[in-house]
Amino acid sequence: MSDALKGRILVVDDDENAVEILTRMLAREGHVSISAASGAQALETLQHENVDVILLDVMMPGMDGLEVCRKMRADERLRQIPVILLTAKDDLDTRARAMELGVSEFLTKPVNRRELFTRIDAQLHARNLSRELSATVEKVLQPDSKTEGD
């Protein structure tokens, strides 16, 4: 995956072993990872860290992954960050609720390495295209300084 985009990935899971495994996998692919051990810690981290993608566990004590996602989508600054939901549960209700909250992707634990990086790459690519489009629109909508002074 040498030609893939590299990103800052927030890994959110209360299982230290899962965080360690994902962090190592991300580092081997050239991504920078940040971790949070709870939903509340993830939201706090997002207030001062810019990330490109979030790997978010569903089942955590306190604030679960769905609640984290709901709070993110209510925050203008956080709502566009792609979320890949990691879940040991593969039930339709959880998936439907997550889709309603704007989750970008799902992965069932244990995570398959190839599938993980295919999905991360797709989300990074989409985010990059979105940023480029926003920059182009902003540039087109700005008044041309040469014609204003003439």
| Residue ranges covered by each domain of the chain | 8-149
Q: Which of 60, 45, 69 is nearest to 15 (CA)?
A: 60
5 CB-contact burial (10 Å; exposed 0-12 / middle 13-18 / buried 19+) = middle
CATH architecture of the domain covering 8-149? 3-Layer(aba) Sandwich (3.40)
Question: What's the rounded Cα separation, in Å, for the pair 3 and 124?
Answer: 12
Question: What's the rounded Cα separation, in Å, for the pair 95 and 139?
Answer: 38
Reading the chain (150 residues) residue by residue, the pLDDT tens digits are: 344 679 999 999 999 999 999 999 999 999 999 999 999 999 999 999 999 999 999 999 999 999 999 999 999 999 999 999 998 877 788 888 888 998 999 898 889 999 999 999 999 999 888 888 888 888 898 876 554 555
- Strands 32-36 and 8-12 come out as parallel
**Phi, psi torsion values for 109, nearest 5 degrees:** -75, 145
Query: What is residue 2's predicted lDDT score, i.e. its pLDDT?
Result: 40
H or E element, residue 49: none
| Dihedral Cα 19, 23, 24, 29, nearest 10 deg | 150
- This prediction has a pTM of 0.86
Length of the chain in residues, anyone?
150
